[in-house]
Amino acid sequence: MFNGSEEISMEDAANRVKTGIPGFDELCGGGLIRDRTYLVSGTSGAGKTIFSIQFIYNGIVNHGENGIIVATEERPEQIRENMLNFGWDLQALEDEGKLAIIDACSTKIGIPSQEKYVDVRPFDTRSMMDQIIATQEEIDAKRALVDSTTSISFYLHDPARIRVELLKLSTTLEIIGLTSMMTCEIIDESKPSRFGVENFVTDGTFALYYDRRDNVRSRSVEIYKMRGSDHSKKVHPYDIEKEGFVIHPHEEVYTSF
């Protein structure tokens, strides 16, 4: 069992950006490295959106670190409604100027948006970066989420272009002082990303698995990579409970790949 205390100093652990997701920070030396970008990959319904919004929500509520969510696949109003199930009142945080949700979904599908923050050129990563930079200045954000990268990647199609554009995006987030997560939809759980490049342009990859064995599905998480840090090399079960993700760091599961 990984025990971060031997490899990571107390000082280093204290400087980490806490996700506050129960059980997760202790798997990666006390939290994320500040101003780095992490990929959260998983199949449909694995929990990528809930996991990464829990990181943003905890940052605001428990650490005074404001957050930005770029929503490319779900309209902000659906996200607000879904997250209320966990008691996370995103609208209240937006009203207090602590959270900004950028609607990068409506324009893409050709419907009007009533949102305060709208990405009008959602397939253009330059436009997305400009919007994030402006929003970060406005609300002094320290954490960000791009959920998800997959529609941008489908649009770009060519893995070489996807790699360059996502590298520009992740580097921009880091330079402007955001500790970030980007999600990536996968269809094959034996691979850490959809186009085989997303995990190379991010500093870490967290894989969420949603396996079926016989007639039951079970959930587990693996820290597939984390540059600059030791971390658990095991696959740990998690549950989605009424307060969100709960990871069981002292239990292990065995995957078939």
Ligand X SMILES: Nc1ncnc2c1ncn2[C@@H]1O[C@H](COP(=O)(O)OP(=O)(O)OP(=O)(O)O)[C@@H](O)[C@H]1O
H, E, C per residue of the chain: CCCCCCCCCHHHHHHCECCCCCCCHHHHCCCECCCCEEEEEECCCCCHHHHHHHHHHHHHHHHCCEEEEEECCCCHHHHHHHHHCCCCCHHHHHHCCCEEEEECCHHHHCCCCCCCEECCCCCCHHHHHHHHHHHHHHHCEEEEEEECCHHHHHHHCCHHHHHHHHHHHHHHHHHCCCEEEEEEECCCCCCCCCCCCHHHCCCEEEEEEEEEECCEEEEEEEEEEECCCCCCCCEEEEEEECCEEEECCCCCECCCC
Binding string, 195-214, against ligand X, x = CB under 6 A? --------------------
Per CB under 6 A, 240 contacts ligand X = yes
Per CB under 6 A, 46 contacts ligand X = yes
The total of other beta-carbon atoms located within 10 Å of residue 223's CB is: 23
Per CB under 6 A, 45 contacts ligand X = yes
Binding string, 49-88, against ligand X, x = CB under 6 A? xx----------------------x-----------x---
Measured distance CA(115)–CA(122) in Å, rounded: 14
Do residues 56 and 65 lie in contact, with contact meaning Cβ atoms separated by under 8 Å?
A: no
Q: 146 contacts which partner out of Mg ion, ligand X, none, CB within 5 to 8 A by kind? A: none
Q: 240 contacts which partner out of ligand X, Mg ion, none, CB within 5 to 8 A by kind? A: ligand X
Q: 85 contacts which partner out of Mg ion, ligand X, none, CB within 5 to 8 A by kind? A: ligand X
- Output 135 or 148, the one with its CB closest to ligand X: 148
- Output 19 or 136, the one with its CB closest to ligand X: 19
- Output 16 or 236, the one with its CB closest to ligand X: 236
Residue from 94, 103, 115, 185 binding ligand X (CB under 6 A): 185
Measured distance CA(69)–CA(228) in Å, rounded: 25
Residue from 19, 37, 49, 199 binding Mg ion (CB under 5 A): 49
Only one residue has tokens 């955001």, namely 178
How many residues bind ligand X (CB under 6 A)? The answer is 12
Per CB under 5 A, 72 contacts Mg ion = no
Measured distance CA(109)–CA(99) in Å, rounded: 24
Q: 185 contacts which partner out of ligand X, Mg ion, none, CB within 5 to 8 A by kind? A: ligand X
Per CB under 6 A, 246 contacts ligand X = no
The distance of closest approach from Cβ of residue 4 to Mg ion in the complex, given in angstroms and rounded to an integer, is: 29
The distance of closest approach from Cβ of residue 235 to ligand X in the complex, given in angstroms and rounded to an integer, is: 17
- Output 2 or 55, the one with its CB closest to ligand X: 55
Contacts with Mg ion, residue ranges (CB under 5 A) = 48-49
Contacts with ligand X, residue ranges (CB under 6 A) = 42, 44-50, 73, 85, 185, 240
